[in-house]
Amino acid sequence: MLFIDVGGKMQFNSYVFILLFLPICISGYFSIAYFSKRWGDIFLLCSSIVFGAFLNIEGFLTLLACTIINWGEIRVLHCIKCAKIKKWILSIGIIFNIMILFWFKYFNFFVKILNDFFNQDFLLRDILLPIGISFIVFQQIAYLVDTYKRKTEDYTFIEYLLYIFYFPKLLSGPIVFSGSFMEQLKNQNRNRLNFSNISNGLNLFIIGLAKKILVADVLAKVTTWGMINSDKATSADWIIIVLAYTFQIYFDFSGYTDMAIGVSSMLNIKIPDNFNAPYRALSIPDFWKRWHITLTDFLREYVYFPLGGSKKGYWRTYINIMIVFLISGIWHGANFTFIIWGALHGCGSVIHRLIKKGYERLPILVKWGITFLSINILWALFWAKDVRQWIHILLSIVYFDKAGFSTGLIRAFEIPEYTFLLKCFRIPYGNIMIRECWMIVFLSLICCICLYFEKGLRREYKNTIMHGIGMALLFGWTVISLNAESTFVYFGF
């Protein structure tokens, strides 16, 4: 079986990372880099290796070995002048990386298909999935292609390792292209403390941490309840569970990205944003311009354009779109649910191209409603353990044969702050109407954040006393609420 092991669990939302690793890393880097930029980068690389190895030493060593092999291929590409040989080396490198990803992520899935379709009994293997392998493999492929196209300079081995294992983006991205990252490594002013970058970085880190702990982890209890009680959930329950997962995956993944960008900002390295208010999208293509932006950029640059993009006629364009989204689905996970999820997003993009003129005439609210409903339906497929459960969820909602909310679902929304407020205002704790109201209020608040306030949360703030106090209180609230460390959703992808 394939499984994930996060070992010591030094994640962004852990006391070890927040109170020990991050302060030591930042202070150590600038102390060393002040005297020697090269040794500062070596320290940063060592910190990244410690971070990765702390999560799981075996998986990290596997990734390190693959990276060294990729470096050898890159050196060969730099040295060889013959175009045909370079093309062969590039092909070998891409196939090697795809096979590595196939072995760790898809081998057991492939064996299950063989067993089911051909009535065989091939044994499944216990395979440890190195966390971050999907992101690292895409970056390795991108670097190989850029080297083949002579878009990369002759960087050092240390710089290449730091590009691959840079700890803020190691586990769940964003996918960073080599050009912008390497240029920043070469910047001679990077080894000096920049208080503006540190301030903005802290703001983003705190906001991301709050997204994860105060919102995503609460919603995770709701979706977990739904998974455990799928046979008991009512139609009304499924509506809430589907909506909860839609918000959970966003606040979880965007929270991680905010923390990654914030930490990197403190180290004077800018990494790209991955989100732009995706739930404000007015179509499926618009959604993919706002959601997981760096993955969209990678697939467009290294898959869609090489296939011919939209330059080879309508039908070829539609086929290329479907290929890109199928790859996106497969990349996310080894399950037919992910493949169908990608295929349906591809169908949505193709249909939008076909009816674009008429669709654009619709009122904005109608376009948003169609898009948001479609996203929710497809996220339910992303969350479901198999296609059969997804169909069961949709049919339960459509027929709506079971009304009313389950008590367990309502309790999943309860947080200590909620209980404290009830006691302060002397409101009966056991009143089911009060609990239901809290559930609706909680979902309404995070919906408003997604639609109206999300971009404002990540702006550059003025360093005022009131802002500092507000951020300090938010940080204290999140740290106090950090009772049990939870894994980020995209660690599984």
Distance CA 215, CA 367 (A): 27
Q: Are 104 and 127 in contact (CB under 8 A)?
A: yes
Peptide bond before residue 174 is cis, with ω within 30 degrees of 0 = yes
Q: What is the dihedral of CA 432, 438, 443, 449, to 10 degrees?
A: 180
CA distance 139 to 160: 11
| Cα–Cα distance, 197 to 269 (Å, whole number) | 9
Length of the chain: 493
**Active-site residue, from 292, 332, 345, 352:** 332
345 is catalytic: no
How far is it, in rounded angstroms, from Cα 438 to Cα 173?
34
Question: Three-state secondary structure along the chain?
Answer: CEECCCCCCCCCCCHHHHHHHHHHHHHHHHHHHCCCHHHHHHHHHHHHHHHHHHHCHHHHHHHHHHHHHHHHHHHHHHHCCCHHHHHHHHHHHHHHHHHHHHHHHHHHHHHHHHHHHHCCCCCCCCEECCCCHHHHHHHHHHHHHHHHCCCCCCCCHHHHHHHHHCHHHHCCCCCCCHHHHHHHHHCHHHHCCCHHHHHHHHHHHHHHHHHHHHHHHHHHHHHHHHHHCCCCCCHHHHHHHHHHHHHHHHHHHHHHHHHHHHHHHHCCCCCCCCCCCHHHCCCHHHHHHHCCHHHHHHHHHHHHCCCCCCCCCHHHHHHHHHHHHHHHHHHHCCCHHHHHHHHHHHHHHHHHHHCHHHHHCCCHHHHHHHHHHHHHHHHHHHHCCCHHHHHHHHHHHHHCCCCCCCHHHHHHCCCHHHHHHHHHCCCCCCCHHHHHHHHHHHHHHHHHHHHHHHHHHCCCCCCCHHHHHHHHHHHHHHHHHCCCCCCCHHHHC
What's the rounded Cα separation, in Å, for the pair 206 and 12?
11
The set of catalytic residues is: 332
